[in-house]
Structure 1
Amino acid sequence: MEWKFALQLAGVALGLLYLWLEYRADIRLWIVGLAMPVVHGVLYYRSGLYADCAMNGYYVLAGLYGLIVWRRTPRRKGAELRIGRTPKGLAGALAGVGVLLHAAIYLLLARFTNSTVPFWDSLTTALSIVAMWMLSRKYVEQWLVWLVVDVVTVGLYLYKGIPFTAGLYVLYAALAAAGYRRWLRQIG
């Protein structure tokens, strides 16, 4: 079996499980989120998507952080971490962080790699960093950031010749819209 195909199948299976758990706001999403970046990291590196590859190192760290936050919050505050809206002042700061990350990652890719898609690779990576942090805080708007990431990523991955993974991101986009609606109803 060709390496791209095998990695895509494993990544799609893990990605679907992760999405289902995220949709349900199930803490086990963080455990699946520790295995999935290994598979995707190798796939992206071998496909020349260097920022996406590096992003998977962040996903491992963010997964550990998210698991700790979701597990410790009930003990620290006496109540489960609840789904909520991103505070208005924080939303602007997160947008600023996203812009700065995009610029920094773009410059790294453009100057130090042979990336053929530095703008789009750095955009999806920067937005993913922001969205992952928002997920760790259970902010409902994280779904909207993921929706943008997913739509851009579909085109990027089709361009780079990894169509099964692009298909996974079509599902991610649909579930991001559904997850947003579900979490809006669950705001506590």
Structure 2
Amino acid sequence: MTQWLLQHWMELTGTVLSLIYLYFSVRENIWLWVTGFFSSLFYLIIFFHERLYADMGLQVYYLIISIYGWIVWTMGRQRSGRKKMPIRKTGIRKGLILLIAGGGIYLIVLLILLKLPAKIDIPASDLPYWDAFTTTGGIVATWMLAKKYLEHWLIWIIVDAVSSGMYLYKGLNITVLLYLVYTVVAVVGYYEWRQSMIKGEKL
């Protein structure tokens, strides 16, 4: 047992931090950005060793967006005069822009995954098409979270479900459980944020 813990301590730590991050996300707690930052740091190392390069690159993005999200939520709270930054709906126009941007990001990430490993003499990425899909979804959804758009939860439901299958294939069993929890909590998060937004509109 001790040997197993020593072997998997990084994945366990990242998982615990991710669960705290998830709880803070549902509760609209600004400290989600701090726990998210350190969780991403651990998973960046894990994904490098597992040759999931797009997911590894996504963790770098998460480190940056965590700082950005903290700033945006702090400023949004100050501007609104409320304890929490108000939740917003994406809208059709913004949704179409994000869909087009997501398609462009997907093609870029996929091209990088297919071409870059050979050029820099590292092993080829496993599951490049799915890896690019989850990476793109994560980029778009986390940006939407930073802006506090309600619909980011819907993207996470899909991304987390697909990610669970990827990590099962890679044998990252602890992470599989984490992402299954993510999928369920994303549904809960959407409902909780929707209720919070409705209450906020009545104020």
**C-alpha displacement at 1:74, in angstroms?**
2.9
Query: Partner residue of 2:181?
Result: 171
Query: Partner residue of 2:170?
Result: 160
Within the candidate set 110, 113, 119, 1:109 is matched to 113
1:16 aligns with 2:26: no
Within the candidate set 30, 43, 47, 1:44 is matched to 47
Q: Which structure's CA Rg is the greater one?
A: 2
The CA distance in 1 between the partners of 2:44 and 2:71, in whole Å, is 23
Query: Partner residue of 1:147?
Result: 157
Within the candidate set 101, 112, 115, 1:97 is matched to 101
Within the candidate set 128, 131, 134, 1:118 is matched to 128
The CA distance in 2 between the partners of 1:97 and 1:172, in whole Å, is 24
DSSP-derived class of the 1:115 partner: coil
The CA distance in 2 between the partners of 1:4 and 1:109, in whole Å, is 28
The CA distance in 2 between the partners of 1:31 and 1:58, in whole Å, is 14
* 1:95-121 Cα shifts (integer Å, max 9, x gaps): 111111111100100111201211011
The CA distance in 1 between the partners of 2:110 and 2:7, in whole Å, is 25
Mapped contact 2:15–2:39 kept (Cα < 8 A): no
Query: Partner residue of 1:26?
Result: 29
Aligned-pair identity (%): 35
Q: TM-score, normalised by structure 2?
A: 0.89
Count the aligned residue pairs. Answer: 188
Q: TM-score, normalised by structure 1?
A: 0.95
The CA distance in 2 between the partners of 1:16 and 1:30, in whole Å, is 13
Q: Which amino acid aligns with 2:106?
A: H
Mapped contact 2:76–2:86 kept (Cα < 8 A): no
DSSP-derived class of the 2:149 partner: coil
Query: Partner residue of 1:129?
Result: 139
Instruction: List gaps (5 residues or longer) in structure 2.
Output: 118-123
**C-alpha displacement at 1:138, in angstroms?**
1.1
